Amino acid sequence: MTRGTTEEEKRVDGHVGGAVDLETLGRAVKEAQYRHHRALDTRLAAVGTTLAQWDALRAIGRSPGASAHELAVATFQGDQSFGTLAGRLAAQHLVERRPGHGRRIEHHLTEAGERTLEAGRAVAVEVLATSFAPLDEDERVTLLGLLRRLGVDGGALS
C-alpha cells in the first residue's frame, strides 16, 4: 500500500501544489553561493589571500581611485568592515590609500595587489568552471539573465 506525498515531502522536493516552494528556491540559491564561497576561500588560501580580500582587490581593480564607501557597496560590506579590510590590504602592501578630494581616500592596487588579483582570478575561473559544468552555455546565459533580473527588480526587498 502506498501513501500519498505529504506537504512536507513536497516542500523538501521543492514543489508544493505544483508550484516551486519559494523557501526551497531561496535555500538552493544560498547553497550554491555557500559552496562557491567555501571552495574559493579554500583555494585562494593557496595564493595567499581570502575571498573577502580578493573580492576587494577585484573591486579596486575595476574602479581605481574609488572611495571606501563605493568599494564597500561593490563588495556587499558595511563601510566600517571595508575600512578594516582595506587597512589590512594596505598593511600587506597590496593596496595604496591616497588622499582624494576633501576627506575622500582613494584606493589603488600596488604591483603586488595586481599579482594577487590575477592569481586569484585564475583560481576563481577554475572553481566556477567546475561549479557550473553541469549547465550548458544556454542554461548559463538563462541563469545569468534571471539572476540579473532579480538583482535589478528585486531591489524593493530592503
CATH number, residue 46 = 1.10.10.10
Greater confidence (149 vs 16) lies with 149
Q: Is the pLDDT of residue 82 over 80?
A: yes
In a domain, 138, yes or no: no
Task: Name residue, grid cell 523538501.
Answer: 12
- Please give the pLDDT value at position 12: 53
In a domain, 10, yes or no: no
Quote the pTM value: 0.81
Report the distance separating Cα 40 and Cα 55, nearest Å: 11
Best CA proximity match to 35, nearest among 58, 51, 57: 51
- Please give the pLDDT value at position 18: 73
- Please give the pLDDT value at position 1: 47
In a domain, 89, yes or no: yes
Mind listing the pLDDT tens digit for each residue in 32-74?
999 999 999 999 999 999 999 999 999 999 999 999 999 999 9
**Residue 67: φ, ψ to 5°:** -80, 165
In a domain, 157, yes or no: no
Counting the structural domains of the chain, the total is: 1
- Please give the pLDDT value at position 154: 55
Mean pLDDT within 122-135: 96
Round the average pLDDT of the chain to a whole number and report it.
89
- Please give the pLDDT value at position 87: 96
Q: Work out the end-to-end distance of the chain between its first and last CA atoms, rounded to an integer number of angstroms.
A: 49
Q: What angle, 0 to 180 degrees and rounded to 10, lies between the N-to-C axes of helices 22-45 and 111-131?
A: 130
Q: What's the grid cell of residue 73?
A: 557597496
**43 contact partners, CB below 8 Å, separation of at least 6:** 123, 126, 127
In a domain, 124, yes or no: yes
Best CA proximity match to 46, nearest among 152, 127, 111, 103: 127
- Please give the pLDDT value at position 151: 84
In a domain, 68, yes or no: yes
In a domain, 79, yes or no: yes
Confidence band (pLDDT; 50, 70, 90) for 3? Answer: low
116: containing domain = 30-132
